[in-house]
Amino acid sequence: MRTYDERLGRAMSGSAFPSPVAEFLADLGNTAVAVPLLAVALAWAAWCARRTGEPRWWLSPLAAAVAMVAVPALVVPFKALIDRPGPPGPLAGESGFFPSGHAATAAVAYGAAALLLHPLLRPRLRRPLLVAVAVLNLAVAAGLVRRGYHWPLDTVASWCLSGLLLWALLRLSRTSRKTG
């Protein structure tokens, strides 16, 4: 599996896809970009829930914030434990690339924002929001691999980890609405 991962990573990093665009896409996984967007979604969801008189209006936004805080708390120990060397590129010779913190940040921040906003949107806008978040996360991963910051499986591992956090957020959000 590692051989195929590295082969795909080398092919992507050597592709004709423009480096500035790939850099921009990779940057969408930075905390400086993703976390403020999540903060706006947290505030909006909390305000809407409180305005409608939801008893535990604060629970879903708080759970989303905790999920975001959990990203580095989980990613950093995994990076140290696995200590995977990075791909050839700007960070060649370094290690600790698995899983990708940028991919996990993007997946949790944008995914949690979508889960918070989903029930507040008109039904016809819900699916496009989820599709946009999926495409955005694929773009972040492609940018990270194209720029040589990560192997493809680094980003896939981050999505798996993020999926668990988002699943927990979704379960808690649904429970809070049912019992609220």
Position 85 scores a pLDDT of 85
In angstroms, the CA 142 to CA 69 distance is 24
Confidence of residue 143 (pLDDT cuts 50, 70, 90): very high
Burial of 178 (0-12, 13-18, 19+ CB in 10 A): exposed
Q: SS3 sequence, 140-151? A: HHHHHHHCCCCC
Look at the chain and report how many structural domains it folds into: 1
Residue 8 is assigned to a structural domain of this protein = no
pTM (two decimals): 0.91
* Amino acid at the residue 149: Y
Alpha helix (H) residue ranges in the chain: 2-13, 19-27, 31-51, 59-82, 101-117, 123-146, 152-179
Query: Domain of 67?
Result: 19-179
Structure tokens at 167: 């699943």
Residue 100 is assigned to a structural domain of this protein = yes
Residue 12 is assigned to a structural domain of this protein = no
Residue 159 is assigned to a structural domain of this protein = yes
Position 160 scores a pLDDT of 97
Residue 9 is assigned to a structural domain of this protein = no
- Determine if residue 17 is left, alpha or beta; phi over 0 gives left, psi from -120 to 50 gives alpha, anything else beta: beta
Residue 6 is assigned to a structural domain of this protein = no
Mean pLDDT of the chain: 92
Mean pLDDT, rounded, for 45-49: 95
Confidence of residue 179 (pLDDT cuts 50, 70, 90): low
Residue 29 is assigned to a structural domain of this protein = yes
Confidence of residue 178 (pLDDT cuts 50, 70, 90): low
| 8-34 pLDDT tens trace | 888 888 888 999 999 999 999 999 999
Mean pLDDT, rounded, for 165-169: 95
In angstroms, the CA 41 to CA 36 distance is 9
Chain-centroid distance, C-alpha 136: 9
Residue 139 is assigned to a structural domain of this protein = yes
In angstroms, the CA 158 to CA 75 distance is 8
Between 2 and 169, where is the model more confident? Answer: 169
Confidence of residue 177 (pLDDT cuts 50, 70, 90): low
**Three-class DSSP category at 121:** coil
Mean pLDDT, rounded, for 54-70: 94
| 69-90 pLDDT tens trace | 999 999 999 999 998 888 877 7
